């Protein structure tokens, strides 16, 4: 038997084999060596893992893009809606009930109601004077206020011999109407019309004066320009026009074009036009009835130059009182409260000389 010696096998250069087996992934990524590609299964697992990693990276970028888009959209919505929401909140009347009577005044009063020309019921408090033939003074509240804003004026007016009517506009206090539709004097002046009719026709008081603050003063002027019922007026811090008031009170950070669109949306939502609220254009119609303006040199909402425009547009008889340091809100209180002796003197002088009032009793 012939025995053959087995041939001696040479050593494999493993490094060479590894280098020879390097290959690119199907995506052209960094190559994998033989250890990574030892079996088709490990190769598939590696490829799947890399695919998941790239997908997650893409998902992370997508999430970041969506988040940025959402933030930009939210900021845009805030810029567009914040002034509109702020305007609605700032002009909404208090939600507190008025069912509790003003008992702290220790004065006789009546809870009264009367209709507007468009059929809404307005409610308020009537404080009768001892003399039924005495003149009456009504109070027109400011923006987002109701009849309670006039309570501090009742005592001195009653002591001076006047009837006093406090009432709430449509949508405020216990009055009927949309609570979120304050119109800066456009419809509120119609409520003043209704209050004057109540005093003159229902109560039989021909001699009526009025006090108003801010938009309430605007409502007095607009009402008196239409009808002759108001014989004398005290207008505290009225604005010349709604457009001017909006322009002067625009937030500094808010772009003018966008702010204008927001205000137009407020007009549309509330169903009125800023062109209806321009006392500057109609205040001259009050003559020969007197008007007393009260302004502050420190009022940032109605700056002195705007106050002078309105005063100049009014005709005689007219007068003006300047408060030195009061803010817009302080013009009403404590401003008017401290000025009551002057206001009483104004009404005594003007109402007793008005033709409708000459047959009434002399005030004390």
Q: How confident is the model at residue 93 (pLDDT cuts 50, 70, 90)?
A: confident
- The answer to whether 225 touches 196, Cβ cutoff 8 Å, is no
| Phi-psi label, residue 48: left if phi above 0, alpha if psi -120 to 50, beta otherwise | alpha
Q: pLDDT of 262-317, one tens digit each?
A: 889 889 989 999 999 999 999 999 999 999 999 999 999 999 999 999 999 999 99
Q: How confident is the model at residue 260 (pLDDT cuts 50, 70, 90)?
A: confident
Cα–Cα–Cα angle for 145, 147, 151, rounded to 5 degrees: 110
Show me where the domains of the chain are located: 15-52, 105-357
Q: Counting Cβ atoms within 10 Å, is residue 78 exposed (0-12), middle (13-18) or buried (19+)? A: exposed
Dihedral Cα 320, 323, 327, 331, nearest 10 deg = -60
Average pLDDT over residues 184-201: 97
Share of the chain above pLDDT 70, in %: 73
Q: How confident is the model at residue 38 (pLDDT cuts 50, 70, 90)?
A: very low
- What is the fold, at CATH topology level, of the domain defined by 105-357? Rossmann fold (3.40.50)
| Phi-psi label, residue 241: left if phi above 0, alpha if psi -120 to 50, beta otherwise | beta
Of 120-124, 225-229, 247-251, 332-336, the poorest mean pLDDT is in 247-251
Q: Is the pLDDT of residue 27 over 50?
A: no
Strand partners, 296: 323
pLDDT for 192 equals 98
Q: pLDDT of 238-249, one tens digit each?
A: 999 999 998 998
Q: How confident is the model at residue 208 (pLDDT cuts 50, 70, 90)?
A: very high
Residues 1-17 as b/e (b if ≥16 CB within 10 A, e otherwise) read eeeeeeeeeeeeeeeee
Q: pLDDT of 145-165, one tens digit each?
A: 999 999 999 999 999 999 999
Q: How confident is the model at residue 68 (pLDDT cuts 50, 70, 90)?
A: low
Q: What is the largest CA-CA distance in the chain?
A: 161
Q: Cβ contacts of residue 269 below 8 Å, gap of 6+?
A: 84, 181
Q: How confident is the model at residue 8 (pLDDT cuts 50, 70, 90)?
A: very low
**Number of Cβ atoms within 10 Å of the Cβ of 315:** 14
């Amino acid at each position: 038997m012939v025995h053959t010696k087995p041939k001696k096998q040479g050593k494999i250069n493993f490094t060479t084999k590894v280098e020879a087996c390097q290959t690119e992934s199907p995506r052209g990524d960094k190559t994998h060596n033989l250890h990574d590609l030892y079996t088709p299964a490990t190769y598939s697992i590696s490829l799947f893992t890399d695919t998941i990693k790239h997908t997650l990276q893409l998902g992370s970028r997508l999430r970041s893009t969506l988040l940025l888009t959402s933030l930009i959209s939210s900021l845009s919505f805030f810029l567009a809606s914040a002034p509109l929401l702020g305007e609605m909140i700032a002009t909404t009347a208090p939600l507190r009930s008025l069912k509790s009577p003003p008992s702290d005044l220790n004065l006789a009063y009546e809870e009264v109601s009367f209709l507007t020309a468009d059929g809404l019921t307005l409610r308020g408090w009537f404080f009768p004077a001892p003399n039924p033939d005495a003149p009456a003074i009504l109070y027109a509240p400011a923006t987002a206020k109701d009849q309670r804003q006039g309570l501090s004026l009742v005592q001195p007016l009653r002591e001076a011999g006047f009837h006093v009517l406090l009432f709430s506009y449509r949508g405020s206090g216990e009055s009927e109407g949309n609570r979120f539709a304050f119109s800066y004097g456009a419809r509120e002046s119609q409520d003043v019309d209704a209050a004057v009719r109540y005093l003159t026709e229902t109560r039989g008081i021909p001699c009526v004066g009025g006090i108003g603050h801010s938009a309430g003063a605007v409502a007095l002027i607009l009402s008196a320009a239409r009808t002759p019922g108001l014989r004398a007026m005290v207008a505290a811090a009225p604005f010349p026009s709604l457009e001017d008031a909006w322009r002067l009170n625009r937030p500094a950070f808010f772009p003018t074009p966008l702010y204008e669109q927001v205000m137009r949306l407020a007009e549309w939502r509330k169903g009125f036009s800023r062109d209806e609220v321009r006392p500057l254009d109609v205040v001259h119609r009050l003559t020969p009835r007197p008007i007393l303006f009260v302004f502050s040199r420190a009022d940032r909402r109605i700056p002195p130059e705007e106050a002078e425009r309105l005063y100049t547009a009014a005709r005689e008889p007219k007068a003006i009182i300047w408060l030195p340091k009061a803010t817009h809100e302080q013009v009403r209180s404590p401003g008017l409260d401290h000025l009551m002796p002057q206001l009483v003197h104004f009404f005594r002088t003007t109402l007793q000389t008005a033709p409708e009032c000459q047959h009434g009793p002399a005030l004390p």
